Amino acid sequence: MPELPEVEVCRLGITPHIINQTVTAVIVRNGKLRWPIPDAVNLLVEQQVLAINRRSKYLMLRFDTGTLLLHLGMSGTIRIIDADTPVAKHDHFDLVFTNKKALRLNDPRRFGAVLWLAEHQDEQGFLAKLGPEPLSDDFSHGYLFAKAKKRTVPIKTFLMNNQVVVGVGNIYANEALFKAGILPTTKAGSLSKKRFDQLTDIIKQVLAAAIEQGGTTLKDFTQPDGRPGYFVQELMVYGRAGQKCLVCTTELEEIRQGGRSSVFCSQCQKT
Ligand SMILES: [Zn+2]
């Protein structure tokens, strides 16, 4: 599943190709994504891309009359290709631009989304429930500690709640908790401010490192068969259940939390 670093690298990758370009055609081949692609997207013809932003895992293409939201869901990829590139299976949506390039969304499982927020619609309303961006100054020392007060939910589940902080998906939650020495089952409200502040710094580091690594794959966004991969190359715990801890050689354990896999070292991580 594309996580925040993949989406941010996608944003960085596509921006130079479509910023200030004007849409010449909108092609919907299969509008049955997680939600139906609205007819309003056809109004984008002759409109210019003014900016490409990201909020959580939504890419936001700004136009004069509103914002196009793109979400990659479970399996979506976005590429910038020559507009006449032959269509492949699962290529559901194209935005074609004056420079004869197209932004093409491919999504085999169709949990992705293409949504339109008109200028007068309340964007903040749509995204209001989302917590702060992990790499922003809003996510700083003291924030998690205050947010977790009296919460008995496990810290892993707490971190993956988009209303607490966005973009800390399963891989990054596992890795950050290992690096912070915190067992994933620890009650969120029981952690000290100091440990929360360390965890905050580590989450920022883990995500920033993933984005940096992803930068090396930017060329994939302009290749017809490009499949941007995942960027966390040096995983300490995620996907390593039953293998030895890379720090202390204890066998890593795995449990399920909220239907997701949590892998941890019972020696390196404490409540
Ligand atoms: Zn260990």
Summarize pLDDT for 39-95 with one digit per residue, the tens. Answer: 999 999 999 999 999 999 999 999 999 999 999 988 888 999 999 999 999 999 999
- 57 belongs to the catalytic site: yes
Residue 240: partners with Cβ closer than 8 Å, 6 or more residues away? 252, 263
Cα–Cα dist 222/55, whole Å: 23
Q: How far apart are CA 179 and CA 8, in angstroms?
A: 23
Q: How far is the CA of 270 from the centre of ligand 1 (A)?
A: 11
Ion ligand 1, residue ranges at CB < 5 A = 245, 247-248, 250, 265, 267-268
Average pLDDT of the chain, as a whole number: 90
Whether 94 and 80 have beta carbons less than 8 Å apart is answered as no
Q: Which of 3, 8, 133, 175 is catalytic?
A: 3
Q: How far apart are CA 83 and CA 76, in angstroms?
A: 19
Place of tokens 């989302």: 130
pLDDT given for residue 214 in this prediction: 75
pTM for the structure as a whole: 0.87
What per-residue confidence (pLDDT) applies to 94?
Answer: 97
Give the helix ranges, DSSP H, for the chain. 4-18, 123-127, 143-148, 155-159, 170-180, 193-214
pLDDT band, residue 261 (cuts 50/70/90): very high
Section 153-179 average pLDDT: 95
Dihedral sign, Cα of residue 220, residue 222, residue 223, residue 224? positive
**Tokens found for residue 150:** 């009296």
Q: Does the structure show a pLDDT above 80 at 131?
A: yes
Nearest Cα to Cα of residue 126 among 181, 176, 69, 180: 69
> pLDDT value at position 138?
95
Catalytic residue chosen out of the listed positions 11, 55, 57, 104:
57
Active site residue 8: no
